[in-house]
Structure 1
Amino acid sequence: MSEPNPSTTAETEWALVAARAADDKLGVDTVVIDVGPVLAITDHFVITSGRNARQVRAIVDEIEAQLTAQGGPKPLRIEGRDSMEWVLMDFGEFVVHVFDDERREYYELERLWGDRPRVDFHVA
Structure 2
Amino acid sequence: MKRWSKQAALAADEKLGKDTVLLDVGDLVGITDIFVITSGSNYRQVRAIVEEIEEQMLLLDGPKAETIEGQEYQEGSIWVLLDYGGFIVHVFDEETRAIYDLERLWNDCPRIEWQED
Q: Under a length normalisation based on structure 2, what TM-score does the superposition of the two structures give?
A: 0.95
TM-superposed deviation, 1:83: 1.4
- Listed as ranges, the gaps of 5+ residues in structure 2 are none
**Alpha-carbon separation, structure 2, partners of 1:83 and 1:108:** 20
- Identical positions, percent: 56
Secondary structure of the residue aligned to 2:97 is helix
Q: Which moved more, 1:106-115 or 1:76-85?
A: 76-85
- Post-superposition Cα deviations, 1:25-82, rounded to whole Å, max 9, x if no partner, equal 1001000000011111000000000000010000000000001100000000100101
The 5 Å alignment of 1:64-103 reads 64-83=54-73, 85-103=78-96
How many residues are aligned here? 114
**Alpha-carbon separation, structure 1, partners of 2:73 and 2:108:** 30
- Structure 1 ranges of 4+ moved more than 6 A: none
The 5 Å alignment of 1:1-12 reads 11-12=1-2
Partner of 1:118: 111
- Listed as ranges, the gaps of 5+ residues in structure 1 are 1-10
Partner of 2:47: 57
Secondary structure of the residue aligned to 1:98 is strand
Amino acid at match of 1:52: N
RMSD over equivalenced CA pairs, Å = 0.8
1:40 aligned to 2:33? Answer: no
- Post-superposition Cα deviations, 1:7-31, rounded to whole Å, max 9, x if no partner, equal xxxx110000001100111001000
Partner of 2:102: 109
Q: Under a length normalisation based on structure 1, what TM-score does the superposition of the two structures give?
A: 0.90
